[in-house]
Amino acid sequence: MSPSLLISLFSFLVLFSVSNAATKPRAFIFPIKKESTTLQYYTTIQIGANSTSLDVVIDLGGKFLWFNSAEYFAAATTYRPIRCGTKLCQISNGVGCVFCFLSPPVPGCTNNTCSDYAHNPFTGTLGYSGLGEDTLHVQATNGAKYVSPHFPFQFSDPVLKEGLAPGTQGLIGLGRTNIALQAQLASRFKIPQKFALCISSSGDGNIIIGGGPYKAPFQEISKSLISTPLIKNPVETYPTEKVGNSSVEYFINVKSIIVGNKTLLLNTTLLSFDKNGNGGTNLRTVRPYTILHRSIFRALVNEFVKEAAAIYNIKRVASVAPFGACFDSKTIANSKTGPVVPTIDLVLQSKKVYWRFYGENSMVKVNNDVLCLGFVDGGLDPVTSISIGGHQLENYVLEFDVTSSMLLFSPSIPSILPSGTSCSQFKA
């Protein structure tokens, strides 16, 4: 190849790359992985001048990004504190102003800095520190790379990482805040403030920020999405949130629960918020299994056990903590939607709108001989009556339209898409 042709080709590639990056992105994609020992879901981000790569746990109801990383700390040349009284501080809705006089200033110790509490949802630990900003490097769904400057986060105390999945450095929030990941990307790139999760039970999944349309084989699933309002808890449920703020978590309006064809007899006041913000139903990626108020839990277990024996001839065995009902796996058949057991429906705004859990989402394999009903007793005084956990969120497309406050969810992927389809194929 002649030198002039090489130069022309190189110039074309450079121009193509620049023009491609300059084009407004339609949506962004982040991977989802599941850590096998903690059952926590995490993604990978790149931040800072050196594009430091960090694995961070995904918190669907979290406020913002926080992490502690020696690698980032050593190369944080573009880190800047968010000063008290600035517009970004107001957007961040911080709880105070922190002063730290270390010279020279470093991430986590800067003067006159907008501050907030980072929360570890696994240990309950809170970390009070200043907020900072740096450049977040992101990938669009077409493969192009973009940068989001002035991305806010907290460089936290290392003690806050206790209880996180091995190898992860912090936590990234997708909650109802101005500095959550989807809110910042929507504001920066003028894309819809919506995001979709497809969490796999056995492999990789993806987060898509900005909305569809989705690529094959998931374009068909868009036609089957069921919508239900995302409701706001009028009382803050996030630790240390300012009094008077509504909750940053995502709630849906569950009206009743059906096991098989039987509607459970429940104290329906538990399904709504009381004056203190207790009750209702939220979605929590930081809980491995759905947690129920004890009265709801007992009603569910009793009816499930009854139908499993009477209709499916399933044999119950000794319970294995933390579960309340376990069964002999040899007495349970299998299908494309998992173990053949009574279905569990969360009935939403009407009897025709419900979220159905088949055996793949209701049952947990404890060992080769035992399967357990994957719901957990939350006691008599939980803040939230029903917290839908990660196991029940797997193998669905869950699209959160934050602007219109709607959740769109698909039927179980194995129930409507060809065998072998997984969340690793979820693209836009």
Residue pointed to by tokens 């022309």: 8
Residue 381 lies in a domain: yes
Tell whether 182 and 247 lie within a shared domain: no
Residue 3's pLDDT is what? 47
Residue 19 lies in a domain: no
- pLDDT values of the chain reduced to their tens digit, one per residue, 428 residues: 554 444 444 444 443 443 345 688 999 999 999 999 999 999 999 999 999 999 999 999 999 999 999 999 999 999 999 999 999 999 998 888 999 887 778 898 999 999 999 999 999 999 999 999 999 999 999 999 999 999 999 999 999 999 999 999 999 999 999 999 999 999 999 999 999 999 998 879 999 999 989 998 898 888 899 999 999 998 887 666 655 567 899 999 999 999 999 999 999 999 999 999 999 999 999 999 999 999 999 999 999 999 999 999 999 999 999 999 999 999 999 999 999 999 999 999 999 999 999 999 999 999 999 999 999 999 999 999 999 999 999 999 999 999 999 999 999 999 999 888 899 999 99
Q: Judging by beta carbons within 10 Å of its beta carbon (0-12, 13-18, 19+), is residue 135 exposed, middle or buried?
A: middle
Residue 214 lies in a domain: no
pTM value is: 0.92
Range of the domain at 113: 27-191
Residue 1 lies in a domain: no
Output DSSP code: residue 428.
Answer: -
Residue 11 lies in a domain: no
- Identify the domain boundary among 145, 174, 191: 191
Tell whether 322 and 401 lie within a shared domain: yes
Residue 323 lies in a domain: yes
Q: Cβ(220)–Cβ(227) under 8 Å?
A: no
Q: How far is CA 402 from CA 137, 231, 247, 265, in A?
A: 23, 11, 13, 33
Distance (Å, whole) CA 277 – CA 231: 12
Tell whether 295 and 335 lie within a shared domain: yes
Tell whether 164 and 43 lie within a shared domain: yes
At 197 the three-state DSSP class reads: strand
Tell whether 276 and 129 lie within a shared domain: no
For residue 10, what are its two tokens?
A: 């190189």
- Contacts (Cβ under 8 Å, ≥6 apart) of 96: 115, 116, 128
- Identify the domain boundary among 191, 212, 235: 191
In our burial notation (b when 16+ CB lie closer than 10 A, e otherwise), range 255-281 reads: bbbbbbeeebebeeebbebeeebbbbb
Tell whether 258 and 331 lie within a shared domain: yes
Tell whether 276 and 402 lie within a shared domain: yes
Residue 232 lies in a domain: yes
Tell whether 125 and 269 lie within a shared domain: no
- Which CATH number is 263's domain given? 2.40.70.10
Tell whether 239 and 388 lie within a shared domain: yes
Distance (Å, whole) CA 187 – CA 194: 11
Residue 20 lies in a domain: no
Tell whether 182 and 313 lie within a shared domain: no
Residue 18's pLDDT is what? 37
Q: What are phi and psi of 196, to 5 degrees?
A: -125, 140
Tell whether 59 and 119 lie within a shared domain: yes
At 406 the three-state DSSP class reads: strand
Residue 21's pLDDT is what? 52
Tell whether 225 and 187 lie within a shared domain: no
Nearest to 221 by CA among 400, 27, 415: 415
Looking at the 3D structure of the chain, how many domains does it have? 2
Residue 270's pLDDT is what? 98
